[in-house]
A and B are shown apart, each in its own frame.
Chain A
């Protein structure tokens, strides 16, 4: 029998096994609600984790493939040194493009601190040269040596100093999201074990009678496991759908900008939350099976 047949058989259920457990409204609602709430949180944790992963990759990629050269020279030498730097860059392997930032762009960069009317042309503000690297990247140390020889006022900043803490922060957020997912999974397992334990305690006499008429532990456990697994599956499916709808309704990055609005799924990432209900059902299956077999150990 293959896996899909086993799953179908389990879902369709042994009509005799599933009838042996009396209906229990409270534990049914508790299990479904717990699964729904945990699935809702799991989808958000997943979204956080995926978003921070994307962010880390973007920051890492974008900053890793660009550098800035800062030319701090007297006003009368600035233009000559800028031309020298651009010439050096033209012959430097690993440089895709290089350009000196025009005064408008430099003004825009400084505007948040000094206002929009800053006369950058007349002030001893360093000239910035933006360097975009090829996929292979450039030899930073070699370039620094050439710059110090031919344009003494030029300093290469390959963004390493900025990039490392940013990427580290994003990676830690990613780990935090994954940790939250693990915690949510464990909490769900604990809650379902408790709910199953309550149902099992309430049905101890049923289990005892079944043992005495010759039922094996797996037969008795299966009835409880199937019920709790299906409840967890249904509850987590509902929680997942609601969470996905909430995330879909969040403002997009383009609309609002900023990090938090980047929380969500992109492209095939929307398929990731669909894993939450099967995982919840898997957790419920093993949590209930563990609780049922443990409870049965006390019954001869």
Chain B
């Protein structure tokens, strides 16, 4: 679904990623690890076309990225649910409105999807917080809300950038369970994290490939954890 081939990317002339290749196929589950500043977030941004590579090819749902216009990129992003590290909510809208926003952006009427929104909020344990503003939510609630928003359009791929960065261990496990459930539904999952305990905890639930990003190179750190 998303394929990176021999990607090179850098900031201010110094390469951060060098010759990276990655294939996110349907039903795959990947962890992306590496030290801070290794380029995990950059690699995720390349996957959802927020950045353009200096070299190499990105193919999203069969379409080479260099041939995509802005409208086409917008449409493809509706098939990629992204949980951002900073969550990225519209602060003046309630949690419910934030979760529903991708529907509006896709030209759908959110009021026609009330049941789905309620179900999704209940699934991430935020049914009672639906009318709260983002500023009123805790770190863990924000992470779960970001996951709910990423899933509202039922995407084929879920990319999560440190989804457990602001939450306690219990909540981390709960979020992991949610992502595993999605994977069992056939979604491709890529989680960028430096939390090795989370990766170990996933072992009991899913077959995951662990990729390590170091010195601009991507290595397979372990298969079938």
Task: Verify if B88 is at the interface (C-beta below 8 Å from A).
Answer: yes
A58 to B73, CA, bound (A): 63
**Cβ-neighbour of A19 out of B48, B97, B107 (below 8 A):** B97
A16 to B90, CA, bound (A): 13
Q: Which of A205, A208, A217, A300 has the most CB of B within 10 A?
A: A300
Task: Verify if A213 is at the interface (C-beta below 8 Å from B).
Answer: yes
Contact A214 B97 (CB under 8 A): no
Q: Residue on B with the closest CB to A203?
A: B90
A208 to B48, CA, bound (A): 13
The interface residues of chain B lying within 8 Å CB-to-CB of A17 are 104
Map CB proximity to A onto B105-148 as digits: 1 under 8 Å, 0 otherwise.
Answer: 11101100000000000000000000000000000000000000
Map CB proximity to A onto B47-75 as digits: 1 under 8 Å, 0 otherwise.
Answer: 01111100000000000000000110111
Map CB proximity to B onto A199-220 as digits: 1 under 8 Å, 0 otherwise.
Answer: 0000001101111111111010
Minimum distance in angstroms from A290 CB to a CB of chain B: 16
Mark out the residues of chain A between 1 and 36 whose CB falls within 8 Å of any chain B CB in the assembled complex.
14, 16-17, 19-20, 22-23
Q: Residue on A with the closest CB to B77?
A: A214
Contact B50 A212 (CB under 8 A): yes
Minimum distance in angstroms from B161 CB to a CB of chain A: 12
The interface residues of chain A lying within 8 Å CB-to-CB of B101 are 16, 20, 210, 213
Task: Verify if B84 is at the interface (C-beta below 8 Å from A).
Answer: yes
Contact A216 B104 (CB under 8 A): no
Contact B74 A216 (CB under 8 A): yes
The interface residues of chain B lying within 8 Å CB-to-CB of A214 are 74-75, 77-78, 102, 105-106, 153
Task: Verify if B40 is at the interface (C-beta below 8 Å from A).
Answer: no
Contact A215 B51 (CB under 8 A): no
Mark out the residues of chain A between 86 and 141 whose CB falls within 8 Å of any chain B CB in the assembled complex.
none
A16 to B102, CA, bound (A): 10
A174 to B90, CA, bound (A): 51
A215 to B105, CA, bound (A): 4
The interface residues of chain A lying within 8 Å CB-to-CB of B100 are 16
Task: Verify if B92 is at the interface (C-beta below 8 Å from A).
Answer: yes
Minimum distance in angstroms from B202 CB to a CB of chain A: 26
A110 to B153, CA, bound (A): 90
Q: Residue on B with the closest CB to A20?
A: B90
A219 to B103, CA, bound (A): 12
Contact B105 A213 (CB under 8 A): yes
Q: Which of B101, B102, B105 has the most CB of A within 10 A?
A: B105
Q: Which of A17, A22, A216 has the most CB of B within 10 A?
A: A216
Contact A212 B48 (CB under 8 A): yes
The interface residues of chain B lying within 8 Å CB-to-CB of A205 are 88
The interface residues of chain A lying within 8 Å CB-to-CB of B89 are 209
Task: Verify if B182 is at the interface (C-beta below 8 Å from A).
Answer: no
The interface residues of chain A lying within 8 Å CB-to-CB of B91 are 22
Q: Known contacts being A214-B102, A214-B106, A215-B105, is A209 close to B88, with CB within 8 Å?
A: yes
The interface residues of chain A lying within 8 Å CB-to-CB of B75 are 214, 216
Q: List 12 A-B contacts (CB under 8 A).
A: A17-B104, A19-B97, A20-B90, A20-B93, A22-B90, A22-B91, A209-B90, A214-B77, A217-B71, A219-B107, A300-B49, A300-B52
B interface list, Cβ under 8 A from A: 48-52, 70-71, 73-75, 77-78, 82, 84, 88-93, 97, 100-102, 104-107, 109-110, 149, 153
A interface list, Cβ under 8 A from B: 14, 16-17, 19-20, 22-23, 205-206, 208-217, 219, 296, 300
In the A-B complex, list the 8 residue pairs whose CB atoms are closest, starting with the nearest: A16-B104, A215-B105, A214-B78, A214-B77, A22-B92, A213-B102, A209-B88, A216-B74
17 further interface pairs, Cβ-Cβ under 8 Å (given A16-B104, A22-B91, A213-B101): A16-B100, A16-B109, A16-B110, A20-B90, A20-B93, A208-B88, A209-B89, A209-B90, A211-B74, A212-B84, A212-B88, A214-B102, A215-B74, A216-B75, A300-B49, A300-B52, A300-B73
